[in-house]
Amino acid sequence: MSKRFTETEIWKDPWFRKLPCKYKMFWKYITEQCDEAGIWKPDFELASFYIGEEIDINEATKVFNEGKQRIIVLDNRGFLICDFISFQYGELKRDYNPHKKAITLLDKRNLSLNLQERLVQACGKLLNKDKDMVKDKKKVKDQDFGKSENLLVSEIDHKAEFDKLWSKYRRKKGDKKKLFEKFQQQIKTKQDLENITKALENYNYSKQNTALKYIAHGSTWFNEEWRDWIDYREEPEGQKKRASPGEPLQDKWSMVPVFGENEEVQA
């Protein structure tokens, strides 16, 4: 197995922190056992043996794609790790020797052409091959990319959407430029945008009678905290409550999808 980079900051990610232990182990397992293209050949029996608990593909897909798309289930039931290529290589280039093995593996599975636009959507990166052809496509076909929430990154006006959310946030404390860059990294699909919009509405409603000094800094909320407010709900007694750590979200998956420091800062 070749050496590769590892994401040490993942332990600070609220999504990873809330994963059941066996799926923390499974995530580390597939990111280390996948091939150079970020594709893990399905062997749940072996994975369960090493982890010590049974792994279910439906549950794994649900928890891994909670909040954002992290894996794509291929038609052979293998997993494509969305951020793997961008994290390990940046932008793939066919004339660069360290990238050739990954590109060869994608070509071997006939994925280079079919997945270019999905990689733009999921990873924010584009394979070098047929780049101009992808740029000319302005609509995403349902048979290729699934539901409408999986829009290309290029179809989201990040600047306009961020400014709209920022204007509604009460405590604008933080570096707006850096937060916008973080926003671009996190918001890849229409569903991501709907999630953060919903989270802000929930947060503002919950904190409508809260003094400004008790509102989270914008630098904190827009960094990662907003994910904790997607599934906020009000108890019958009128008390506001966030979903407790580890509490499962509403199941939106009926089946496994298969791919076939002042208060105002200057910008």
Model confidence at 16, in pLDDT bands (50, 70, 90)? very high
- pLDDT at 148 (0 to 100): 42
- Residue 78: its pLDDT value, please? 77
Residue with tokens 């056992």: 33
What global pTM score does this model have?
0.43
Distance between CA atoms of 63 and 70, rounded to whole angstroms? 10
pLDDT over 60 (residue 244):
no
Mean pLDDT computed over every residue of the chain: 75
**Helix (H, G, I), strand (E, B), or coil: what is residue 126?**
coil
Q: What is the reported pLDDT for 235?
A: 58
pLDDT of 37 strictly over 70: yes
Query: Mean pLDDT across the stretch 162-184?
Result: 91
**Cβ–Cβ under 8 Å, residues 215 and 172:** no
Asked if the model's pLDDT at residue 125 lies above 50, the reply is no
Q: What is the reported pLDDT for 166? A: 92
Q: Quick check: 133 pLDDT over 80?
A: no
* The predicted structure's pLDDT at residue 26: 94
Q: What is the pLDDT of residue 119?
A: 52
Out of 29-38, 66-75, 85-94, 199-208, least confident range? 85-94
Of residues 101 and 248, the one with the higher pLDDT is 101
- Measuring CA to CA, how many Å separate 181 from each of 65, 75, 87? 22, 34, 16
Q: Is the dihedral of CA 261, 158, 82, 75 positive or negative?
A: positive
- The 10s digit of each residue's pLDDT in 189-234 is 888 899 999 999 999 988 888 999 889 999 999 988 899 899 887 6
- Using the predicted structure, report yes or no on whether residue 130 has a pLDDT greater than 70: no
pLDDT over 70 (residue 113): no
Q: In the structure, what pLDDT confidence band is assigned to residue 28 with cuts at 50, 70 and 90? A: very high
What's the distance, CA 217 to chain centroid? 23
